[in-house]
Structure 1
Amino acid sequence: ITPAITPRTRAVIAVDLFGQMAPIEQVSEAAQGRPVIEDAAQSIGASRRIGGRTVMAGEAAAIGTYSFFPSKNLGGYGDGGMMVTQDEALFEALMKLRTHGSRRTYYHEIVGYNSRLDALQAAVLRAKLPHLGAWSEARRRNAAYYDAAFADVPELVTPWIDPANTSIYNQYTVRVPRREAVQAHLKERGIGSNVYYPLPLHLQPCFAYLGYREGQCPEAEKASREVLSLPVYPELTTTQLDEVIAAVRAYFGR
C-alpha cells in the first residue's frame, strides 16, 4: 500500500475476502491518515482481535460496506447493501447521498442517489439476521471438517485464517494444481464448485487504461489460476461433506 500512495490518493479500500477480515489496523497505518473503506461484502459477522479487543467486520474502518446479494451469508431476495460508520459527519453525508442529496423532503443540499434499501429486502433480512450467528458457526464446523480431511493431501492447500481473525467462510476456497481438471472431476460426480476469481483486477479489460501488465502482481495472478471454492453452506450434512471429500481425495489418488 505505502509505495502506491501518491498526493492524489484520497482513501484506501481494504477488501475482506472469502469470509475473514483484512488487517484493518495495518491498512490504516499504511494509509498515513487517509480514510480506510472496508469492503465487508463477504465478511458480515466476522471479527478480528485488534489492540486487545474484538472488532466486527465494518466497525474499525471509516466506512464499512456490506452486501445483501442473495448468495451472501446474509442475503436478501434481491440486490441490497448497507454502509456503516462511527463518524457522525460521515453518517450525515451518507444519509443525504442515499436519498437524492436530501435530509428534508424536496430540499436537496447536494446531488445524491436513490439508494435506499427496499422495504421488502429489509423485511427478509430482519427475519434472517437472528440466524446469522448459527449459520456462521455451521460454516466454521464444515470448514474444520474439510481441513481435517484434506490434511494429508499435500497437493491441496486449505484456507489459511489469520490467528487474529474469526472467519465466517463466505467461501471455502482451496488452492490446487490443474484447477480446471479438478473442477471437471467434481462436476462429473454432481458436485458443485466455483472459481473466485479467474482474472485479477489489474488484468481486467475495464482497467486496461491504467497500464498494468501481467507479472506485476504475481501472487494474485498465481492465486487466480489455482483457487477453487467447495460447498460449505450451513445446511450441508455429514454425508454430503463426505461425498465432496471422497471426490477430491479420489482425484489426487488418496
Structure 2
Amino acid sequence: MTSFAVPFFAFRDFPAGINREVEQALVRAAASQHYILGEEVEAFEQELATALGTGMAIGVGNGYDALVVAMKSAGIGPGDEVIVPANTFIATVNAVVQAGAIPVLAEPDPYTCNLTAGAAAAVLTKKTKAIIPVHLYGQACEMADFMQLAQKHNFILIEDFAQAQGASYGGQSVGSFGKINATSFYPTKNLGALGDGGAVVTSDAALAAFARMYRNYGQEQKYHNKIVGINSRLDTLQAAVLRVKLRYLNQLNSERQRLAQVYQNELQGIVGLILPVTAPACTHVYHIFNIRTSQRDKLQTWLAAQGIQTAIHYPVPVHLQEAYAFLGYQPGSFPVAEELAATSLSLPLFPGMTAAEQQQVISSIHTFFKVHG
C-alpha cells in the first residue's frame, strides 16, 4: 500500500483523550459479557434519539441494513417506485431493490450536489411510494420543499443521513424530518464506530416496533416470531464506542467545518476550480470536502506525486453501473450526475488534520493550477 504524507483520512486522537475514553468503554462493555443488544445498545439508542430530536432509534448492523429496514417498516415493496438521487453511493439504490421496489433516479442540484424536491417532482408517478433525500457529503438537503411535496402527494419521506450526522436544516437535525430515516456508523463517518453499524430513527411508534422486530428475526420474544425478519443488530461493543463519540459529535463537526473554511478561504479565486456551495438554511458538516475541476484526473495524479491522497465520490454514476443496466438509462440520461462523476475530487479533511498537512494540500493545488491553468 502506498504511504502518503497527507492521508485522505486518518484516525487521530481528536479531541485529545477520546481514544482513551473509547478504550475504556470497550473494556467496560466486554466486562459486562453481554455482547448482543442489551443495556449499552438501549442507552445509545436513547441518546441518539434525544440528540436528533426523534422519538426512537433502532440500532442495526450497518447503514445498508438501516435503509432496508426503514423501507420494510414503511411498507415499501414490489411494484412501488422509490425516487433516489442519481448521484449517491450505490447502497442507497441497492437497498431499494433489496426491499423489492423500483429505483427511479433524479438529477442532483448542480451546485449543492443534493437532490431537490423540484427534481424529484419531475419524476413522480402514480407508483411513487417514497422519496429518499440523501444528505450528500455532509450537507443537509433543503427539507421544507420535500415536506410540502410529501404532504401534497402522500408519499413517504425517508432520509439517508449517513454522511451528515449532526447537520441541520432550519435549525432542525437531519434524520428527524422523514417518517422513518436511516444512517450509518461506518468508521470514517462523522459519527463512526470501530466497525460496521447503523440505525433507523423515527417518531412513529408502530414503525419503530416493526423495525425492532424485523432486525431481530421478526421476534419480540425469543422463539416467538410475528413476522419474517432478518438478523441485523448493532453490536454491544460498537454501541459503547458510539456513546463516547456521540458526546463529541458537535466538537468533531466543528473541527471539520473549521478545516473546510480554511480550504474555502485559501482556494477561492482559482480559475477552473469549483468549491462546495451550501444552500440557505442548511448546515454542512463536511463528511467530504468535494471540489470540482475539468482537470480532475490530472490534479489527482499531481497531488499523489506530492504525497497527498485524495478520493473520488463517485466515478461511475448509478445509471451507468453495469448492475443497473436493467433500468434502461443511457449515457446522457443524467448530465448533471455525469458531470459530477467526471469532475469531482474529495480533498483530505478529518478531525486531527494538522495545519501543515492542510497547507501542503492548498499549496500543491495552487501550484498545479499555475502550471496547468
The TM-score, its normalising length taken from structure 2, stands at 0.65
Deviation at 1:25? 2.4
Work out the CA distance in 2 between the residues paired with 1:210 and 1:35.
Answer: 22
Moved more, 126-135 or 191-200: 126-135
Query: Hey, what's the Cα distance between the residues in 1 that align with 2:141 and 2:228?
Result: 32
> Residue 8 of structure 2 aligns with which residue?
none
Unaligned runs of 5+ in 1: none
- One-letter identity of the residue aligned with 1:21: A
Aligned counterparts of 1:114 and 1:133: Cα–Cα separation in 2: 31
SS in 2 for 1:91: helix
Of the candidates 126, 133, 141, which is equivalent to residue 22 of structure 1?
141
Note if 1:204 corresponds to 2:321: yes
Give the drift of 1:33: 1.4
**Deviation of 1:28 (Å):** 3.1
* TM-aligned CA deviation for residue 24 of structure 1: 2.3
What residue identity is the alignment partner of 2:127? R
- Secondary structure of the 2:220 match is coil
1:114 maps onto 2:235 in alignment? no
Match of 2:164 among 43, 63, 71: 43
User: Given that residues 19 and 46 in structure 1 are in contact (C-alpha distance below 8 angstroms), is that contact kept between their aligned partners in structure 2?
Assistant: yes
**Equivalent residue of 1:229, what SS?**
strand
Residues 38, 65 of structure 1: 8 Å contact kept: yes
Which SS does the other structure have where 1:89 is aligned? helix
For 1:183, the equivalent position in structure 2 comes to 300
Structure 2 distance, partners of 1:5, 1:134, is 39
List per-residue Cα deviations over 1:106-147 (Å, max 9, x = no partner).
Answer: 111110111110111111111221111111001101111000
Tell me which protein shows more helix as a share of its residues. 2
Shift of 1:102: 1.2
Secondary structure in 1 aligned to 2:302?
Answer: helix
AA aligned opposite 1:12: I
User: After superposition, what is the alpha-carbon deviation per residue over 1:147-167, rounded to whole angstroms, capped at 9, x for unaligned?
Assistant: 011112021111001121111
Cα distance between partner residues in 2 of 1:238 and 1:201: 36
Q: Report the Cα distance in structure 2 between the residues aligned to 1:142 and 1:119, rounded to whole angstroms.
A: 33
Tell me how large the CA RMSD over aligned residues is.
1.2
TM-score, normalisation: structure 1: 0.95
Whether the 8 Å contact between 1:179 and 1:225 is mirrored in structure 2 is yes
The aligned counterpart of 2:68 is none
Correspondence for 1:234 among 351, 358, 361: 351
Task: Please tell me whether the aligned partners of residues 173 and 227 of structure 1 are also in contact (alpha carbons under 8 angstroms).
Answer: yes
In structure 1, what is the Cα distance between the partners aligned to 2:318 and 2:148? 24
Q: Distance in 1 between matches of 2:319 and 2:147?
A: 22
Tell me which residue corresponds to 1:8. 127
Matches of 1:217 and 1:36, distance apart in 2: 23
Using the alignment, how far apart are the partners of 1:5 and 1:42 within structure 2? 25
SS in 2 for 1:103: strand
Higher RCO (C-alpha under 8 Å, 6+ residues apart): 2
For these two proteins, the number of residue pairs brought into alignment is 250
Could you list the runs of 5+ residues in structure 2 that have no partner in the other structure? 1-119
**Alignment partner of 1:169 is 2:286:** yes
**How far 1:7 moved relative to its partner?**
2.3
Show the 5 A alignment for 1:46-57: 46-49=167-170, 54-57=171-174
Tell me if structure 2 keeps the 8 A contact 1:12–1:36: yes
SS at match of 1:38: coil
1:239 Cα offset (Å): 1.5
Q: Which residue of 1 aligns with 2:338?
A: 221
Any idea what SS the aligned residue of 1:11 has? strand
What's the offset of the Cα at 1:207?
A: 1.0
Q: Distance in 1 between matches of 2:338 and 2:148?
A: 26
Distance in 1 of aligned mates of 2:126 and 2:210: 24
SS in 1 for 2:310: coil
Q: Which amino acid aligns with 2:169?
A: R
| Deviating more after overlay: 69-78 vs 187-196 | 69-78
The runs of 4+ residues in structure 1 deviating greater than 3 Å are none
